[in-house]
Amino acid sequence: MSNMLSTTAEFEQPPTDPIPVFNAWFATAQTVGLPNPNAMTLATVDDNGYPSARIVLLKDFDREGAVFFTNRLSQKGRALAAHPRAALLFHWDILDVQIRIAGAVIETTDAESDEYFQSRRRESRINAWASNQSEPIANRAALEARAVEITRKYHGIEIPRPPHWGGYRVALELIEFWRGDKFRLHDRVRYTRIDDGSYRITRLCP
Ligand SMILES: Cc1cc2nc3c(=O)[nH]c(=O)nc-3n(C[C@H](O)[C@H](O)[C@H](O)COP(=O)(O)O)c2cc1C
């Protein structure tokens, strides 16, 4: 038996390691025709304790954490500078599942940010320079004018990664798997990382 929490019966004896479970669920989400199975809600808290949430794309996932990329001067970047902790949420409605993740956040290395930045399409690299993410702008024309200006500036040459653009890695301190039941008696299992790097497993009421 795979014991990957792929059936409600498997929640009775959850695997000790949540990472392969996440990988298996994520792999399934990639087979059901979702346009962005890697889209996840990122929740942060600002320096006034005020929460905010938005979608970002998961770009890497392993034991070290869940990685996304963004503008570090954005609202989320400023919140993470003040409070380097975040929660992530996946909801794949068609599979009737939810995954919650939470943990401390660190910046990815410059090498990792460079590598991902250079893998993006040229237009996306230009727009990373053009958009002062989360700052006001007068209108669409002003935004497009900035993109044209950047396009001219880097015509025929490589576009460097903006210094304020990069990744964040959310540590996998908590991972919770939720599987829907048609009469609302859902299955939930929470993995909480302990000091030796293994996980304490707790079944929760739905
Ligand atoms: C499907 C989808 C994927 C997105 N992916 C990203 C992403 O990977 N990085 C990012 O900075 N913003 C992404 N965004 C935009 C964010 O949701 C958000 O509008 C933006 O990052 C500004 O957020 P902030 O002002 O809270 O910092 C995405 C939006 C959607 C709807």
pLDDT-derived band at 2, boundaries 50, 70, 90: low
Q: Render pLDDT for 67-109 as a digit per residue (tens, 0 to 9).
A: 999 999 999 999 999 999 999 999 999 999 999 999 999 999 9
Check if 178 has its Cβ closer than 6 Å to any atom of ligand 1. no
Check if 133 has its Cβ closer than 6 Å to any atom of ligand 1. yes
What's the pTM value of the predicted model, to 2 decimals?
A: 0.97
Percent share of the chain, pLDDT over 90: 95
CA–centroid distance, 12 to ligand 1, in Å, is 37
CA–centroid distance, 109 to ligand 1, in Å, is 20
Q: Which two tokens stand for residue 168?
A: 């964040």
The reported pLDDT for the residue numbered 3 is 78
Q: Which class in CATH covers the domain with range 8-121+162-203?
A: mainly beta
Q: What is the mean pLDDT of the chain?
A: 96
CA–centroid distance, 56 to ligand 1, in Å, is 5
The residue type of 58 is: L
Check if 192 has its Cβ closer than 6 Å to any atom of ligand 1. no
Please list the active-site residues: 184
**Do 90 and 30 touch, CB atoms closer than 8 A?**
no
**Do 133 and 54 touch, CB atoms closer than 8 A?**
no
